[in-house]
Amino acid sequence: MTTSTDAAPAPHLREDLLTPRFYTTEINKAARTDLERQRPVFEAMLGEMEADYNRDHFDRKAPLQRLRALDPDQKAAYESYLVRSCVSEFSGFLLFKELSRQLQSAQRPELSRLFNLMARDEARHAGFLNRALVAEGIEIDLPALSGKRPITWFPLNWVLYSVYLSEKIGYWRYILIDRHLKANPDNAFAPLFDFFEPWCQDENRHGDIFNMLIRCWPGLNSGLRGRLLSRFFLWSVFLTHSLTVCERGNFYRLLGMEPDRFDEAVLRQTNRTARRAFPVVFMLDGPAFFQLRDQLVDTYRQLRAAQGQPLRRLRLQARFAGLLLRQFLQPMEASGLSPSRSQAVEPLP
């Protein structure tokens, strides 16, 4: 059994730009959120979270061990996916739990309750992934891991934008995998995948909550500021997703999926969904954005393979930076969003 200790990092969790992080933000500013601007939507969402529609969907006694023998490379791909996903969900739990605690101290009990309920969902997800890891013979001390890894501070508006997108992109990732495995049940080699449908419902609901919170701050999703935030976070979240899926695609191939096609489907759907929250979104009808994606992934692979070759790495880094800029500057289009309009909740397709 591989067990994480204070002296050893979590297995499969290498240190690079794709590694999940732990975050904190401007708690005092969060406490000044004016809910009255979105009171009906807030009450509806708090009611949904209190109802906990997925309470009975996550069976804590369900077996989560693999049902199929995997070769070493396949096993490593599955375990790497579990570790990164588990740490990411635990990161969300820590952020939401701390916000809940601090907001309670700041005399904002309604907001505190909402974040506490989201923390409940994230803890549930992390717990299931951790159980699947234990079935693989891997134990990770998540509280100890969070104490060893650095905490990244983000301004509140960055957190609102990035968490909204991470929840929505997570929703599309889980629902598309779920649809694929229901159409191809022979590829569903682990009972964990049976929980992806209720899982995506949680991600979708959390994303809608963060859309509502964005709308509580006038000007955050309009004007030059809103357009810059939209461009930067759509680009950065899409880039991270593409590098993770395409550069580490063995897990998706194990499910019988083409990583680049899966990534493209997730990005297109997330970009469409972002029209409900952001003033502008990328124009993804043509091939240019994804052609740059392919070049970025290829260059990133070459960079990783060029360790110990400083001149080659310098050339590749320059090429990578140029590609990043070109993708960042890809055309965008207005979403038709009205900042003053009440938010429509994203329906489950």
Number of H helices, E strands in the chain: 12, 6
Residue 278, C-beta contacts closer than 8 angstroms, at least 6 positions apart: 221, 226, 229, 230, 234, 335, 337
Q: Is the distance from CB of 225 to CB of 219 less than 8 angstroms?
A: yes
Query: For residue 69, what is the DSSP state?
Result: -
Q: What pLDDT does 51 receive?
A: 93
Q: What pLDDT does 241 receive?
A: 96
* pLDDT (mean) for 236-256: 93
Could you give the CA distance from residue 140 to residue 11 in angstroms, rounded to a whole number? 8
Residue 7 has pLDDT above 50, yes or no: no
What digits encode the pLDDT tens for the residues 135-187? 999 988 888 877 776 788 889 999 999 999 999 999 999 999 999 999 999 99
What digits encode the pLDDT tens for the residues 181-217? 999 999 999 999 998 998 899 999 999 999 999 999 9
Place of tokens 């974040």: 115
* pLDDT (mean) for 33-41: 94
Could you give the CA distance from residue 282 to residue 236 in angstroms, rounded to a whole number? 12
Q: What pLDDT does 10 receive?
A: 57
Query: Which tokens sit at 287?
Result: 């091939």
Q: What pLDDT does 152 receive?
A: 83
Query: For residue 330, what is the DSSP state?
Result: S
Query: Which tokens sit at 112?
Result: 């505190």
Q: Is the distance from CB of 109 to CB of 51 less than 8 angstroms?
A: no
What digits encode the pLDDT tens for the residues 63-87? 888 988 999 999 999 999 999 999 9
Q: What pLDDT does 338 receive?
A: 60
Query: Which tokens sit at 201?
Result: 């419902």
* CA angle, residues 334, 200, 294, in degrees to nearest 5: 55
Q: What pLDDT does 225 receive?
A: 93
Percent of the chain with pLDDT over 70: 90
Q: What pLDDT does 12 receive?
A: 58
Partner residues linked to 282 by β-bridges:
332
Q: pTM here?
A: 0.89
Could you give the CA distance from residue 112 to residue 49 in angstroms, rounded to a whole number? 13
Q: What pLDDT does 14 receive?
A: 56
Residue 277, C-beta contacts closer than 8 angstroms, at least 6 positions apart: 164, 210, 211, 214, 221, 337, 343
Q: How confident is the model at residue 16 (pLDDT cuts 50, 70, 90)?
A: low
* pLDDT (mean) for 107-116: 96
- 2-282 CATH: 1.10.620
Residue ranges with strand state E in the chain: 2-3, 22-24, 138-139, 151-153, 280-282, 332-334
Residue ranges with strand state E in 146-304: 151-153, 280-282
What digits encode the pLDDT tens for the residues 316-348? 999 999 999 999 999 999 998 765 444 444 544
- Compute CA distances 242 → 77, 83, 133, 155, 266, whole Å: 16, 18, 24, 25, 10
Query: For residue 65, what is the DSSP state?
Result: S
Residue 204 one-letter amino acid:
N
Residue 64 one-letter amino acid:
L
Domains of the chain, residue spans: 2-282, 283-333
Could you give the CA distance from residue 118 to residue 114 in angstroms, rounded to a whole number? 6
Q: Write the DSSP string, 76-141.
A: HHHHHHHHHHHHHHHHHHHHHHHHHHHHHHTT-HHHHHHHHHHHHHHHHHHHHHHHHHHHTTEE--
Average pLDDT, the chain: 89
Could you give the CA distance from residue 289 to residue 330 in angstroms, rounded to a whole number? 7
